[in-house]
């Protein structure tokens, strides 16, 4: 239906901005806008109720001293944020969060790309490899955590047993019990659990790589590494950016695996901001301080998300121009 036709059907007043006896009449474009906003209202109410209001309340709680149970909340202004600035556990958790997010993103991206390259030419058993690499993705974090606790167990774990069997006894460590390596041990489990999605994205992206360019580079004498770095990687840039954004955001959401495997221990060595906020609010019963930590985490997540999306759009704009 054309715009004029709709006017004919819905409006009998020749001047859409002039009120008739029933009041103001809207033009078609105005009605369309109202209809659009009406459609948005439902999702906005849901978003507001489940996202904005909790966020605003968290911001309010962060300005209070509250144990999370009593009705009484004492307003303390910015005291929780001042305390945070001098809290070594907070800075430790922030450092661990940076290691978790940046390290996790880099290693997972690299491993996924490596695996995808290995099956690029569709070797025999390609479907089996793809299934095996992707399978951990469908496992709940609790299952992944429990499986890796067993793998790392100093008593029954296959990792230490395997190392001892091949004569590497000195490499058999307390993977989750040594504060120096516990975070990396959990990170390894996390990478194992989530590498499948990145792998699948890269496998799909590799199908679009122009093999003629590779052949040309080969004829020009480029080494395997040069062909990969100067020919393949640029053609995967969109996929790499997408995977990097997904991994960064996912890394900032990290909580479940650490909580299942170490509860932030030993001696807070695997504490990231999310686990520290939870432990502070719900185990230490300091909901006010926990809210302040959660708010900082939310601000970091927001900043990283906006920055990466901007970077991606800028990259895309650069490519299209």
Partner 1 sequence: MNSIGISRRRLLKLSGAATAAGALGLGSQASYAQSASVKVWDQYSSEPMRSAFQKVLDRFGSDAGYNLIREVQLGASIKDIAATALSSGTGPDLLQYSVGQGNAGLLADANLIIPLDDYAAEYGWQDRLSSIALLEASLGGRIWGGPQESEVSMLFVNKTLFAQLGLDVPSTHEEMIAVAKEAKKAGVIALAYGQQDWFPSWWAASNIFGNAMGAKATADLTFNNVGSLNTPEVVDGLEKFCVELPEAGAFVDQVNSLPFGDAQALFQAGGALMLLTGTWSVGAIEETMTGVDVDIMPMWSFDGKPRAYPTGSGSAMYISAASEAKDETAALINFLYEVDMVKLMIEEASIIGPVEVDASTLNLSHLQMRSAQSVSTGDGDPAVTQSAFVHHGLGGSNLHKLLTGGFQAIFSGDTTAKELAADLQAAWEKDNS
Asked if 66 is part of the footprint of partner 1 (rule: CB under 8 A), the reply reads no
Choose, by CB under 8 A, the member of 268, 290, 294, 296 that binds partner 1: 268
Q: Which of residues 219-248 bind partner 1 (CB under 8 A)?
A: none
Q: With CA atoms as reference, report the closest residue to 272 among 80, 144, 86, 92.
A: 92
The Cβ-side half-sphere exposure at 26, using a 13 Å CA radius, reads 8
User: Which candidate, 108, 103, 185, 104, places its Cα nearest to that of 150?
Assistant: 185
CA distance 13 to 10: 9
Closest to partner 1 by CB, 100 or 152: 152
One residue of 179, 216, 303, 306 binding partner 1 per CB under 8 A: 179
What is the secondary structure of 138-178 as a DSSP string?
GS-HHHHHHHHHHHH-TTT-HHHHHHHHTT-GGG---TTT-
State the residue for tokens 């951990």.
136
Smallest gap from Cβ 7 to partner 1, in A, equals 42
Contact between 275 and partner 1 per CB under 8 A? no
Instruction: Give the E-state strand segments of the chain in sequence order.
Output: 64-65, 74-75
Spatial contact of 150 and 185, defined as CB atoms under 8 Å apart: no
Q: Work out how close the CB of 154 gets to partner 1 at its nearest, in angstroms, rounded to a whole number.
A: 4
The answer to whether 257 and 144 are in contact (CB under 8 A) is: yes
Q: Tell me how far, at minimum, the Cβ of 45 lies from partner 1, in Å.
A: 22
Cβ 188 to partner 1, closest distance in Å? 15
Q: b vs e for 244-271, b when ≥16 Cβ sit within 10 Å of the residue's Cβ? A: bbbbbbbbbebebbbbbbbebbeebbbb
**Any contact of residue 131 with partner 1 (CB under 8 A)?**
no
Distance of CA 50 to the CA centre of its chain: 19
170 touching partner 1, by CB under 8 A: no
Among 111, 263, 304, 308, binds partner 1 (CB under 8 A): 263
The span from the CA of 67 to the CA of 298, in Å, is: 21
DSSP label at residue 71: S
CB of 32 to partner 1, least distance (A): 40
- Binding flag, residue 305, partner 1 (CB under 8 A): no
Which three-class secondary structure state does DSSP give residue 240?
helix
Distances (CA, A) of 252 to 74, 101, 114, 201: 30, 6, 24, 20
- For the CB of residue 267, give the shortest distance to partner 1 in the complex, in Å: 4
Minimum CB separation of residue 274 from partner 1 in Å reads 15
Residue 284 interacts with partner 1 (CB under 8 A)? yes
Residue from the set 6, 99, 174, 235 that interacts with partner 1 by CB under 8 A: 174
* 16 binding partner 1? (CB under 8 A): no
156 binds partner 1 (CB under 8 A): yes
Exactly one of 58, 198, 262, 291 binds partner 1 (CB under 8 A); which one?
A: 262
For partner 1, the binding residue among 48, 54, 140, 154 (CB under 8 A) is 154
What tokens does 99 get?
A: 């290691």
162 forms part of the interface with partner 1 (CB under 8 A): no
Q: Which of residues 16 and 92 has its CB atom nearest to partner 1 in the complex? A: 92
Contact 273, 293 (CB under 8 A): yes
Residue 176 interacting with partner 1 (CB under 8 A): yes
Give the interface with partner 1 as residue ranges (CB under 8 A). 67-71, 149, 152-156, 173-179, 262-263, 265-268, 279, 282-286
């Amino acid at each position: 239906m054309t715009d004029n036709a709709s006017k004919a059907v819905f409006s009998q007043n020749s001047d859409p901005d002039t009120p008739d006896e029933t009041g103001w009449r809207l033009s078609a474009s105005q009605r369309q806008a109202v209809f659009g906003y009406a459609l948005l209202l439902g999702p906005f109410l849901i978003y507001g109720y489940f996202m904005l209001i909790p966020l605003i309340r968290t911001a309010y709680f962060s300005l209070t001293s509250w144990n999370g149970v009593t009705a009484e909340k004492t307003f303390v202004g910015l005291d929780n944020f001042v305390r945070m600035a001098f809290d070594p556990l907070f800075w430790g958790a922030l450092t661990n969060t940076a290691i978790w997010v940046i390290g996790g993103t880099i290693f997972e991206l690299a491993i996924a790309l490596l695996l995808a390259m290995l099956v690029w030419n569709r070797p025999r058993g390609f479907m089996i490899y793809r299934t095996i690499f992707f399978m951990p993705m469908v496992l709940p974090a609790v299952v992944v955590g429990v499986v890796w606790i067993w793998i790392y167990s100093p008593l029954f774990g296959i990792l230490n047993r395997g190392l001892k069997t091949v004569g590497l006894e000195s490499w058999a460590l307390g993977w989750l019990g040594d504060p120096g390596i516990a975070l990396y041990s959990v990170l390894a489990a996390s990478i194992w659990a989530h590498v499948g999605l990145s792998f699948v994205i890269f496998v799909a992206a590799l199908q679009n790589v122009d093999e003629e360019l590779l052949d040309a580079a080969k004829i020009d004498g480029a080494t395997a590494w040069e062909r990969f770095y100067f020919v393949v990687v640029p053609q995967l840039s969109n996929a790499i950016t997408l995977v990097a954004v997904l991994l960064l955001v996912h890394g900032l959401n990290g909580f479940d695996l650490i909580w299942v495997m170490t509860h932030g221990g030993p001696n807070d060595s695997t504490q990231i901001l999310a686990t520290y906020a939870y432990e502070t609010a719900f185990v230490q019963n300091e909901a006010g301080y926990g809210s302040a930590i959660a708010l900082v985490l939310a601000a970091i997540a927001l900043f990283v998300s906006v920055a990466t999306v901007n970077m991606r759009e800028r990259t895309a704009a650069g490519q299209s121009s």
